[in-house]
Amino acid sequence: MARHGRLGDVDLTQRLSGAEAEERLAAAQRRLLTLRLQLAGLIGDRRLGPPLLVLLEGWDASGKGGAIKRLVAPLDPRHVRVAQFAAPSEDEKRHHFLARFQSALPGWGGMAVLDRSWYGRVLVERVRELASEDEWTRAYEDIVAFERMLAGDGMVIVKLWLHISADEQLRRFERRAKDPLRRWKLTDEDWLNRGQRPQYELAVEAMLARTDQPAAPWRLIAAESKGYARVAVLESVIAAAEAGMRAHGIAPLPTL
């Protein structure tokens, strides 16, 4: 774990008992379902609420997939879009790096969850030298302007970084390697990224420092405990959604 900066301030000892995690998760899922239906104009005064965009970033094996699964579980698949982004294709490389994300963005009344996002430009593309220094340096301003534009049009942007220690990451890698049904999730790229963790820590700290803004703040989630992290992700999304609704003059309904 980084010894300075925002990563070093994350309390990775945070945990919930099994019973408390289950109770809070169920309550949060019920709450999110109510808000999602209201945002979609299906309950309440029937007007569309602001677009809700959730970006999940984090270390390999930090639990992004499990968190997304719990986040969308209570929702009708027609009411949420989940998009995963890996390396850009050769055709996508011909365009501005933000272009390939446009089609995944939600409109008014919509919700989308992105499993990795445009932050790849200042993380993996920076560390692995897949983008030039000029390209990834310029990307900070592009990203800030892009998110400010989206927020200015009403979008609620929830940016989450799932943080785990290097030791916990290694334990999860080793468990995956021993599980025949989960081994496919562990790739040579994961091991390579782990070997470059110090460089990634510098990149993450720079990302947090240069792209955290009132219109789209970063929320760091302690993910050493999967149960705690899953609850924290849902509750963070709920808090952001409620604040966004109030900012547009929409009073969130009580949980139904």
List pLDDT tens digits, range 200-234: 999 999 999 999 999 999 999 999 999 999 999 99
> Tell me, what's the pLDDT at 244?
97
Q: Of 126, 112, 109, which is closest to residue 204 (Cα–Cα)?
A: 126
List pLDDT tens digits, range 134-171: 999 999 999 999 999 999 999 999 999 999 999 999 99
49: which 2 tokens?
């609420």
Write down the H helix ranges in the chain: 5-8, 18-39, 64-72, 124-127, 133-152, 166-178, 188-195, 197-211, 226-247
The CATH-assigned architecture of domain 5-247 is 3-Layer(aba) Sandwich (3.40)
Integer Cα distance of 56 and 68 in angstroms: 8
50: which 2 tokens?
């602001």
> Tell me, what's the pLDDT at 223?
98
Contact 162, 223 (CB under 8 A): yes
List pLDDT tens digits, range 100-110: 999 999 999 99
> Tell me, what's the pLDDT at 1?
40
Neighbour tally for 48: CB within 10 Å: 17
List pLDDT tens digits, range 168-200: 999 999 999 999 999 999 999 999 999 999 999
> Tell me, what's the pLDDT at 113?
98
Domain boundaries, the chain: 5-247
List pLDDT tens digits, range 42-52: 999 999 999 99
Q: Which residue has the tokens 């009403």?
A: 154
- How much of the chain exceeds pLDDT 70, in percent? 98
Q: Is the pLDDT of residue 82 over 70?
A: yes
